């Protein structure tokens, strides 16, 4: 990114190349005197969301560039949406890496940090350290900075991960807490807010480099409108709701997903999703066609597993069960050993 021609200027919020020629293209601004593109300006001042779809090829190129340095990397992941790509990315870049588990505030306080950390330790991905934080609640940010200082190999430290994990939010928090710099990165609940690398000098010894995130192709966020994206993204700590279900009953979340309990003993389903989402219970699945127009998947759930609905959250299912899920075919759902 240092090779840009001298007369090219990038948006301070998202890293896109600024241009004043085409309103409909990325990077548009009314005047090249401006520091921010129109999309960032409108996002920040009007909460006006413009969804951009990025290809992962570009991001893989960025990761390759990061991998060619010996610099420290922070891999940020969203605790509510633990991504499956972490192993893939780890295999691409073998820089020193701190795994940062963000959005601690989304999970109940009763969940111990050690439990979350242990979950990732078993993946054996050679992280220097695994740190649980919340940008919004300012939890563990001081500690993270101390560990960055301890592990950094040069002044440059890269911030990578999936879109929406909170990479730019974290950098803004570090600027706010520790820097004289008044640059502000653009953040939003939409995927692909950051469009290119953005360098931020925190002080003489530390420069953070924000990157666009890896797009989570199977995320529900790619399938709903901006209004629903806001609803799905938790702003407050999640209050998990437990539903005791008998077979023949069902849970419906908005018009997004339906889960029918087909076979098994009395069971409990605990939902870890945004409090703003409406959940309905159906008592007789046979006579109810709600969301039956979606694709149907049948699963045998083992004892103590979470059903993860990519981008939405997860459902802890206590006992063995057979369930039918009705959901858009493109949305990734999978099971894992219970996180909590
Ligand atoms: N609840 C909660 N939300 C957070 C936290 N940190 C960030 N967010 C929210 O997560 C969303 C995404 O934040 P960004 O900082 O734009 O994420 P990003 O990783 O830079 O995303 P891209 O630029 O799209 O790759 C925003 O709605 C943030 O407000 C946190 O600690 N807790
Ligand atoms: Mg960003």
239 with 275: CB under 8 angstroms?
Answer: yes
Q: pLDDT category, 7, cuts 50, 70, 90?
A: low
**Contact criterion met (CB below 8 Å) for 18 and 11:** yes
**Rounded to the nearest whole angstrom, what is the distance from the C-alpha of residue 213 to the centroid of ligand 2?**
7
The strand pair at 279-282 and 295-301 is best described as unpaired
Has residue 200 got a pLDDT over 50?
A: yes
- Reported as a pLDDT band with limits 50, 70 and 90, residue 289 is very high
- Residue 335 pLDDT greater than 90, yes or no: yes
Report the pLDDT value the prediction gives residue 184, as an integer from 0 to 100.
94
Residue closest via CA to ligand 1's atom 24 equals 192
Percent of all residues in the chain with a pLDDT value above 90, rounded to a whole number: 72
Residue nearest to atom 6 of ligand 1 (CA): 166
Distance between Cα 106 and ligand 1 center (Å): 12
Q: For ligand 2, a single-atom ion, which residues have Cβ within 5 Å? A: 167-168, 193-194
Q: Is residue 1's pLDDT more than 50?
A: no
The tokens describing 102, both together, are 């963000």
58 C-alpha to center of ligand 1: Å? 21
Report which ligand 1 atom has the smallest distance to the Cα of 133. Answer: 31
Q: Find the residues whose C-beta lies inside 6 A of ligand 1.
A: 102-103, 105-106, 134-136, 163-169, 187-189, 191-194, 212-213, 233-234
Higher-confidence position of 50 and 302: 302
pLDDT attached to residue 244: 96
231 touches 206 (CB < 8 A): no
Cα of 11 from ligand 2 centre, angstroms: 13
Determine the pLDDT at residue 24.
Answer: 87
Residue bearing tokens 């099971």: 335
Please state, rounded to an integer, the average pLDDT across all residues of the chain: 91
Q: How far apart are CA 93 and CA 65, in angstroms?
A: 9
| Letter string b/e over residues 14-35, b meaning 16 or more CB atoms within 10 A of that residue's CB | bbbebbeeeeeebbbbeeeebe
- What's residue 83's pLDDT? 65
pLDDT above 60 (res 4): no
**pLDDT confidence of residue 36:** 95
- Region 273-277 average pLDDT: 96
How many Cβ atoms sit within 10 Å of the Cβ of residue 182? 7
Where does the pLDDT of residue 125 fall: very low under 50, low under 70, confident under 90, or very high at 90 and above?
A: confident
Q: Model-level pTM?
A: 0.90
Chain mean position to CA 181: 26
* 147 vs 301: CA distance, rounded Å: 39
**Domain 49-216 maps to which CATH number in 3.40.50.300, 1.10.3720.10, 3.90.1150.10, 3.40.225.10?**
3.40.50.300
> How high is the pLDDT of residue 2?
46
- pLDDT category, 168, cuts 50, 70, 90? very high
Map the chain to HEC letters. Answer: CCCCCCCCCECCCCCCECECCCCCCCCECCCCCCCCCHHHHHHHHHCCCCCCCCCHHHHHHHHHHHHCCCCEEEEEEEHHHCCCCHHHHHHHCCCCEEEEEECHHHCCCCCCHHHHHHHHHCCCCCCCEEEECECCCCECHHHHHHHHHHHCCCCEEEEEEECCCCHHHHHHHHHHHHCCCCCCCCCCCCCCCCCCCEEEEEECCEEEEECCCECCCCCHHHCCCHHHHHHHCCCCCCCCEEEEECCCCEEEECCCEEEEEEECCCEEEEEECCCCCCEEEECCHHHCCCCCCCEEEEEEECCCEEEEECCCEEEEECCCEEEEEEECCCCCEEEEECCC
CA distance 300 to 70: 45
- Note whether 81 and 44 are within 8 A (CB): no
Domain boundaries, the chain: 49-216, 241-337
Ligand 2 centroid vs 289 CA: distance in angstroms? 40
**In the predicted model, what is the mean pLDDT of residues 308-325?**
95
């Amino acid at each position: 990114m240092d090779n840009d021609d001298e007369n090219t200027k990038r948006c301070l919020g998202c890293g896109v190349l600024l241009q004043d020629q085409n309103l409909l293209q990325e990077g548009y601004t009314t005047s090249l005197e401006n520091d921010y593109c129109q999309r960032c300006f409108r996002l920040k001042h009007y909460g006006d969301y413009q969804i951009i779809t990025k290809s992962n090829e570009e991001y893989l190129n960025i990761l390759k560039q990061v991998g060619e340095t010996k610099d420290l990397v922070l891999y940020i992941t969203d605790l509510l949406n633990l991504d499956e790509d972490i192993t893939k990315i780890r295999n691409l870049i073998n820089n020193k890496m701190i795994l940062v588990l963000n959005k601690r505030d989304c999970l109940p306080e009763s969940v111990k940090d050690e439990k979350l950390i242990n979950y990732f330790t078993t993946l054996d991905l050679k992280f220097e350290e695994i740190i649980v934080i919340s940008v919004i609640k300012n939890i563990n940010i001081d500690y993270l900075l101390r560990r960055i200082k301890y592990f950094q190999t040069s002044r440059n430290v890269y911030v990578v991960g999936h879109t929406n994990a909170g990479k730019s939010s974290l950098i803004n928090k570090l600027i706010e807490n520790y820097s004289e710099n008044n640059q502000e990165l653009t953040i939003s609940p939409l995927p692909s807010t950051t469009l290119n690398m953005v360098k931020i000098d925190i002080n003489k010894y530390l420069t953070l480099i924000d990157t666009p995130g890896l797009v989570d192709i199977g995320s529900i966020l790619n399938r709903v409108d901006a209004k629903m994206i806001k609803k799905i993204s938790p702003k407050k700590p999640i209050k998990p709701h437990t539903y005791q279900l008998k077979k023949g009953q069902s849970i419906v979340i908005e018009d997004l997903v339906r889960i029918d309990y087909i076979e098994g003993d009395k069971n409990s389903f605990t939902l870890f999703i945004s409090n703003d989402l409406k959940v309905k219970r159906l008592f007789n699945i046979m006579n109810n066609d709600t969301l039956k127009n979606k694709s149907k998947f049948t699963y045998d759930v083992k004892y103590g597993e979470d059903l993860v609905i990519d981008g939405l959250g997860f459902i802890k299912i206590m006992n063995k069960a057979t369930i039918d899920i009705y959901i858009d075919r493109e949305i990734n759902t999978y099971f894992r050993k219970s996180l909590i």
